[in-house]
């Protein structure tokens, strides 16, 4: 049986790190080499940890269940009537059925049950905040405080079939209809796959040079290592009928009008392209950046030891992006990492599980404080001044009481904004903003900043488009 | 603390927990370990006649049925009687008995169905100082093909005949072990009694195929692509065994015949149930084979505690206590009316009661949009299925309607005791009118 060395939060940050460092230091001294960086090195520095630590820290947070573990976990499902977990799942996966299929030795059938509702079931198994969705609704959570491990069982089934390279869907007869899908993130991919399955031809375009959207660029590296996002897209495209065009940006390379003219329907799954500003004095100094950029860069960097990270990192925000940035700062060797959130901890949109994870890797979470000034020296950040806040009926109020956190790197994770296509506006796009155009995912009204919701909306838009063709 | 010592047909043991004749009791090494672990008695694995011992298969001899989390619920076996030489077994029995005088040591026997064979084997075991013999008329596989085991146990006349020989040629207490592979268990029990048996033990294992291998299309356990029926035992057979024990305990012909209860005894509770239905002691095999000899410690502490709580001082206070309550269907009180009641605080809202009632029973449970499940008394026939499928113990209970209360389903008040024998729909009642 596989030994789960990296189970739980067993990162190379605490107990074992000294054992790894000592021989490293010794050999450097003996050879007269410059001593490497450590978590204590001031300013931005790469390679703060022993080389082995990076591969370890950025490997699977939770490895896939082995067959025995999956069997034991599946046995716990009660096969509820009209199960609450199905209701809680934005894509309405028939969870009791797929778990029973695992329990009876047919994970292949289980995977099909999952993908019938959620073609990105593999990624969702990794990144869904299951503790707030299906697993929170699980009756065994009510019964014993220990839900069935739905997310991990989903990964067991989907990994097993994807690992064999099997794609269990085929296309209906070609309808002659052509659909433009803009944005190859979770919403666009789900939409494209469902449309292709119905027999329509799809042109799937994305402004970046890799498909996947936030699955590729926006998720903490340890949640989907081993290039899973790309593997999943490749697997999804096996259905055929999807022409993937990368480096194509709406508004720059194509216009919505031209797409509407050229295609029978258009789906926009363009996400949120902008980020909010801090609105704190001095935020333009070096060392202050958007957390989403940091996360994207980190994901694309194959050698994590090459990524510079601060010694004292401050992350501002309270969502998943904030947690992902903070945790990964620690995993890169930052000595002190603090998340500062302007409201109470119960209002953080990052799940409790994510918050616990952050705290267990040594991230400090400070609530009810907002940045008022970024202090720089020689053009680079050195500290951030925060004011305590009070959350009342008339909104958030900054108090006179302040404190200062030392910082050589600051990540802003205070939300993203829609960059609307020409002729459209609003904080979010309507589900069907104009004739022949559908939307889904984070850019759309109802988008929840969740992969699984984006998948549901992309899939449902495809069904609506298909219906509009008289399908 | 309750006294667990038992005197079963004159054989004393410190507790009523014996190991049944089976693989765990095949040799000195195991039996010594069992006695060290605390077992009150052992029925040594069945001895055959002198001569070359039987042989066993060299592939798998056990098959299994599992519940959730791979808990062993049923085990079957195609092992035969001891495959070790008679003289080795006899020497070991003598050696063990010498060191464990306070424990019961019974020898199980199975020899061909002629008087000489039985006289010879009884002579051979005489000086082992064993406490008694158990006649294996139950083994359903292998030996039955040779005219022994259940081949004898399925013919009451043979049982009577052999038992009579045994009582004639030996002064040892004699227990006759019965096969359940028969339509009426009372017949072989009566035959044993007529032959002079001091007690019966039951049940032996049940003919079974545990599963079919869907790749090789062979029954399990599979030997070179083939399989045969084996003897089924373990927790799954307990209900069958309890009924057969009760049938003998309450039958006019066999009432009072001592019974050693066997069949899926896994915990003290199982043992207490067998004893309440008339068993003077119990024999255990599968539970020991699944968890090891140590389980007897739980059986001892559990039965002690239960007896203390019930104010019982000796096992005889428990034996047979439930027998008067085993009756025929026709005497059940048709005026005993209950309704299922769901404890909303305990309910985890899985909806299994609803699915079971709605799909397969009487459509007597309602489900609201927010998953509150409630029993509709005007539809509930009190079938108990919701109680049985609910994963939370005591969440759904059956509540008795007091006499005089109107049953919302029938519109009639609950009346005094009345059973089928006097019910107007009973044709024989009408015939008598």
Task: Provide the pLDDT for residue A2.
Answer: 37
Q: Is A81 in CB contact (< 8 Å) with chain B?
A: yes
pLDDT band at A279 (very low <50, low <70, confident <90, very high): confident
**Average pLDDT value over all residues in chain A:** 93
Q: How far apart are the C-alpha atoms of A358 and A352, rounded to whole Å?
A: 10
Q: Is A75 in CB contact (< 8 Å) with chain B?
A: yes
Q: What is the pLDDT of residues A94-143, one digit of tens each?
A: 999 999 999 999 999 999 999 999 999 999 999 999 999 999 999 999 99
Q: What is the pLDDT of residues A291-344, one digit of tens each?
A: 999 999 999 999 999 999 999 999 999 999 999 999 999 999 999 999 999 999
Token pair for B143 = 């030996």
Q: What is the pLDDT of residues A217-272, one digit of tens each?
A: 999 999 999 999 999 999 999 999 999 999 999 999 999 999 999 999 999 999 99
Q: Is B100 in CB contact (< 8 Å) with chain A?
A: no
Q: Is B392 in CB contact (< 8 Å) with chain A?
A: yes
pLDDT band at A425 (very low <50, low <70, confident <90, very high): confident
Q: Which of A81, A139, A143 sits opposite B355 (nearest CB)?
A: A81
Q: Which of B354, B371, B391 sits opposite A78 (nearest CB)?
A: B391
User: Domain spanning B6-325: which CATH class is it, in words?
Assistant: alpha beta
- The beta-strand segments (E) located in A9-116 are none
- Phi, psi at A429, each rounded to 5°: -90, 145
Q: Which of A72, A76, A81 sits opposite B351 (nearest CB)?
A: A81
Q: How far apart are the C-alpha atoms of B416 and A141, rounded to whole Å?
A: 45
- The domain ranges of chain B are 6-325, 333-432
Inter-axis angle of helices B115-125 and B156-169, to 10 degrees? 40
Query: What is the 8-class DSSP label of residue A34?
Result: P
Q: What is the pLDDT of residues B120-148, one digit of tens each?
A: 999 999 889 999 999 999 877 778 888 88
Q: How far is A236 from chain B (nearest CA, A)?
A: 32
Q: Environment class of residue A464 by beta-carbon count within 10 Å: exposed (0-12), middle (13-18) or buried (19+)?
A: middle
Has residue A447 got a pLDDT over 80? Answer: no
Distance (Å) of CA B175 to CA B66, B163, B198: 32, 9, 6
Query: B371: nearest CA in chain A?
Result: A84
Most distant CA atoms of chain B, gap in Å: 77
| Across B70-95, average pLDDT | 96
Q: How far apart are the C-alpha atoms of A112 and A25, rounded to whole Å?
A: 52
Q: How far apart are the C-alpha atoms of A291 and A299, rounded to whole Å?
A: 12
Q: Is A83 in CB contact (< 8 Å) with chain B?
A: yes
Task: Provide the pLDDT for residue A14.
Answer: 67
Q: Which of A72, A75, A81 sits opposite B354 (nearest CB)?
A: A81
Q: How far apart are the C-alpha atoms of A225 and A61, rounded to whole Å?
A: 9
Q: Which among A67, A68, A81, A144 is the top mutation candidate for probing chain B, defined by the most B β-carbons within 10 Å of its own β-carbon?
A: A81
Shortest CA distance to B300 belongs to which of B339, B345, B267, B343?
B267
Q: Which of B349, B354, B367 sits opposite A142 (nearest CB)?
A: B349
pLDDT band at A1 (very low <50, low <70, confident <90, very high): very low
Q: Which residue has the tokens 């929170």?
A: A136
- Within 10 angstroms of residue A170's Cβ, the number of other Cβ atoms is 10
Q: How far apart are the C-alpha atoms of A20 and A48, rounded to whole Å?
A: 12
Query: Using a CB-CB distance cutoff of 8 angstroms, which residues of chain A are in contact with residue B350?
Result: 78, 80-81, 83, 139
Task: Provide the pLDDT for residue A359.
Answer: 95
Q: How far apart are the C-alpha atoms of B365 and B372, rounded to whole Å?
A: 10
Q: Is B389 in CB contact (< 8 Å) with chain A?
A: no
Please list, residue by residue across B392-405, b when 16 or more beta carbons sit within 10 angstroms of its beta carbon and e when fewer do.
Answer: beebbeeeebeeee
B69 with A78: Cβ contact below 8 A: no
Q: Is B187 in CB contact (< 8 Å) with chain A?
A: no
Token pair for A224 = 């989907």
- % residues pLDDT > 90 (chain B): 94
- Please state which CATH number belongs to domain B333-432: 3.30.70.20
Q: Which of B70, B348, B352 sits opposite A81 (nearest CB)?
A: B352
Contacts with A160 (C-beta within 8 Å, 6 or more apart), sequence order: A107, A108, A111
Contact between A340 and A412 under an 8 Å Cβ cutoff? The reply is no
Query: B395: nearest CA in chain A?
Result: A143
Q: For chain A, positions 15-44, list CB contacts with chain B under 8 A.
A: none
What is the number of alpha carbons within 13 Å of residue A222 lying toward its C-beta? 31
A82 with B367: Cβ contact below 8 A: yes
Q: What is the pLDDT of residues B312-346, one digit of tens each?
A: 999 999 999 999 999 999 999 999 999 999 999 99
Task: Provide the pLDDT for residue B162.
Answer: 96
B352 with A78: Cβ contact below 8 A: yes
* Domains of chain A with CATH codes: 67-162 (1.10.1060.10), 178-273+418-468 (3.50.50.60), 275-416 (3.50.50.60)
Token pair for B186 = 């009372």
Task: Provide the pLDDT for residue A6.
Answer: 40
The question of whether B139 is a catalytic residue gets the answer yes
Q: Is A246 in CB contact (< 8 Å) with chain B?
A: no
Residue of B139, B347, B357, B386 marked active site = B139
Q: Is A76 in CB contact (< 8 Å) with chain B?
A: yes
Query: A144: nearest CA in chain B?
Result: B348
Q: Which residues pair with B375 in a beta bridge?
A: B365
Q: How far is A73 from chain B (nearest CA, A)?
A: 8
Contact between B220 and B277 under an 8 Å Cβ cutoff? The reply is no
B350 with A82: Cβ contact below 8 A: no
Q: Which residue has the tokens 């490749």?
A: A234
Query: What is the 8-class DSSP label of residue B54?
Result: P
Contact between A92 and A253 under an 8 Å Cβ cutoff? The reply is no
Q: Which among B344, B350, B352 is the top mutation candidate for probing chain A, defined by the most A β-carbons within 10 Å of its own β-carbon?
A: B350
Q: Is A143 in CB contact (< 8 Å) with chain B?
A: yes
Token pair for B87 = 């003289």
Q: Which of B68, B351, B391 sits opposite A75 (nearest CB)?
A: B68
Token pair for A178 = 């052509």
Token pair for A402 = 């302040």
- Phi, psi at B284, each rounded to 5°: -125, 140
Q: How far is B352 from chain A (nearest CA, A)?
A: 6
ipTM given for this complex: 0.85
Q: How far apart are the C-alpha atoms of A158 and A152, rounded to whole Å?
A: 10
Has residue A13 got a pLDDT over 80? Answer: no
pLDDT band at B393 (very low <50, low <70, confident <90, very high): very high
- Classify A315 as helix, strand or coil: strand
Query: Using a CB-CB distance cutoff of 8 angstroms, which residues of chain A are in contact with residue B354?
Result: 81
Q: Is A82 in CB contact (< 8 Å) with chain B?
A: yes
| Across B249-263, average pLDDT | 98
Give chain A's end-to-end CA distance (angstroms, integer). Answer: 49
Q: Distance between alpha carbon B362 and the CA centroid of its chain, in Å?
A: 33
- Classify B386 as helix, strand or coil: helix
Task: Provide the pLDDT for residue A3.
Answer: 37
Q: What is the pLDDT of residues A16-54, one digit of tens each?
A: 777 777 777 788 888 888 888 888 899 999 999 988 889
B352 with A71: Cβ contact below 8 A: no
Contact between B352 and B342 under an 8 Å Cβ cutoff? The reply is no
Token pair for B234 = 């373990």
């Amino acid at each position: 049986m596989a030994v789960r060395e990296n189970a739980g939060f067993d990162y190379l940050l605490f107990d074992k790190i000294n054992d790894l460092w000592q021989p490293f230091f010794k050999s450097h001294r003996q050879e007269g080499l410059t001593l490497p960086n450590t978590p204590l090195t001031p300013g931005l520095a790469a390679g703060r940890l022993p080389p082995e630590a990076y591969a370890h820290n950025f490997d699977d947070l939770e490895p896939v269940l082995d067959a025995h573990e999956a069997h034991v976990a599946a046995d716990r499902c009660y096969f509820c009537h009209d199960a609450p977990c199905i209701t809680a799942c934005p894509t309405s996966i028939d969870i009791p059925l797929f778990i029973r299929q695992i329990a009876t030795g047919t994970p292949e059938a289980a995977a099909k049950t999952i993908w019938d509702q959620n073609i990105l079931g593999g990624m969702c198994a990794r990144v869904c905040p299951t503790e707030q969705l299906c697993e929170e609704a699980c009756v065994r959570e009510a019964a014993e405080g220990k839900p069935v491990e739905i997310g991990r069982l989903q990964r067991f089934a989907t990994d097993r079939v994807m690992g064999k390279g099997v794609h269990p869907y085929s296309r209906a007869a070609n309808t002659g209809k052509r659909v433009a899908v803009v944005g190859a993130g979770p919403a666009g991919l789900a939409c494209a796959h469902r449309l292709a399955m119905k027999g329509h031809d799809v042109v799937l375009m994305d402004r970046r040079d890799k498909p996947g959207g936030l699955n590729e660029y926006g998720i903490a590296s340890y949640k989907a290592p081993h290039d899973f996002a790309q593997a999943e897209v490749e697997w999804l495209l096996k259905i055929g009928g999807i022409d993937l065009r990368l480096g194509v940006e709406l508004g720059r390379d194509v216009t919505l009008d031209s797409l509407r003219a050229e295609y029978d329907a258009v789906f926009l799954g363009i996400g949120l392209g902008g980020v909010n500003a801090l609105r704190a004095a001095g935020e333009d100094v070096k060392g202050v950046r958007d957390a989403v950029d940091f996360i994207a860069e980190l994901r694309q960097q194959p050698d994590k030891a090459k990524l510079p990270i601060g010694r004292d990192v401050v992350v501002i925000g309270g969502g998943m992006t904030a947690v992902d940035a903070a945790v990964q700062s620690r995993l890169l060797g930052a000595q002190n990492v603090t998340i500062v959130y302007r409201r109470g901890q119960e209002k953080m949109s990052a799940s409790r599980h994510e918050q616990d994870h952050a705290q267990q890797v040594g991230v400090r979470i400070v609530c009810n404080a907002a940045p008022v000034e970024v202090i720089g020296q020689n053009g680079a950040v050195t500290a951030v001044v925060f004011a305590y806040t009070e959350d009342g009926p008339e909104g958030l109020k900054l108090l006179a009481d302040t404190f200062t956190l030392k910082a050589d790197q600051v990540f802003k994770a205070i939300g993203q904004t829609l960059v609307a296509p020409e002729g459209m506006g609003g904080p979010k796009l309507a589900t069907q903003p104009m004739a022949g155009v559908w939307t889904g995912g984070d850019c759309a009204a109802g988008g929840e900043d969740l992969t699984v919701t984006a998948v549901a909306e992309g899939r449902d838009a495809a069904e609506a488009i298909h219906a509009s063709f008289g399908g | 603390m309750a006294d667990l010592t038992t005197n079963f047909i004159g054989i004393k043991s410190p507790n009523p927990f014996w190991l049944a004749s089976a693989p765990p009791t095949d040799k000195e090494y195991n039996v010594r370990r069992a006695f060290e672990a605390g077992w009150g008695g052992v029925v040594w694995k069945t001895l055959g006649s002198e001569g070359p011992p039987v042989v066993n298969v060299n592939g798998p001899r056990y098959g299994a049925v599992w519940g959730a989390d791979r808990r062993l619920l049923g085990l079957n076996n195609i092992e035969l009687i001891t495959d070790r030489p008679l003289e080795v077994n006899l020497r070991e029995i003598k050696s063990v008995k010498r060191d464990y005088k306070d424990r019961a040591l019974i020898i199980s026997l199975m020899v061909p169905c002629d008087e000489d064979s039985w006289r010879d084997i009884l002579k051979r075991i005489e000086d082992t100082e064993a406490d008694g013999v158990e006649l294996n008329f139950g083994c359903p596989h292998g030996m039955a093909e040779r005219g022994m085991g259940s081949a004898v146990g399925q013919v009451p006349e043979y049982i009577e005949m052999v038992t009579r020989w045994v009582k004639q040629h030996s002064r040892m207490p004699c227990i006759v072990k019965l096969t359940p592979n028969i339509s009426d268990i009372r017949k072989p029990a009566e035959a044993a009694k007529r032959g002079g048996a001091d007690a019966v033990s039951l049940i032996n294992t049940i003919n079974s195929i545990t599963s079919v291998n869907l790749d090789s299309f062979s029954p399990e356990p599979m030997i070179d692509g083939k399989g045969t029926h084996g003897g089924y035992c373990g927790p799954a057979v307990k209900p069958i065994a309890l009924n057969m024990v009760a049938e003998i305990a309450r039958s006019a012909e066999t009432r009072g015949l001592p019974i050693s209860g066997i069949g899926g005894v896994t915990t003290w509770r199982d043992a207490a149930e067998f004893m309440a239905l008339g068993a003077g002691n119990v024999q255990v095999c599968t539970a020991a084979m699944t968890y090891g000899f140590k389980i007897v410690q739980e059986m001892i502490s559990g039965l002690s505690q239960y007896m203390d709580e019930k104010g019982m001082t000796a096992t005889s206070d428990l034996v047979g206590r439930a027998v008067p309550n085993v009756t025929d269907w026709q005497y059940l009180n048709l005026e005993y009316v209950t309704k299922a009641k769901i404890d909303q605080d305990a309910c985890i809202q899985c909806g299994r009661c609803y699915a079971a009632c709605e799909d397969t029973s009487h459509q007597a449970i309602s489900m609201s949009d927010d998953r509150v499940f409630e029993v509709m008394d005007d539809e509930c026939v009190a079938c108990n299925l919701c109680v049985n499928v609910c994963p939370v113990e005591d969440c759904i209970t059956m509540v008795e309607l007091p006499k005089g209360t109107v049953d919302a389903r029938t519109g009639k008040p609950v009346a005094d005791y009345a059973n089928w024998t006097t019910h107007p729909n009973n044709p024989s009642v009408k015939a008598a009118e």
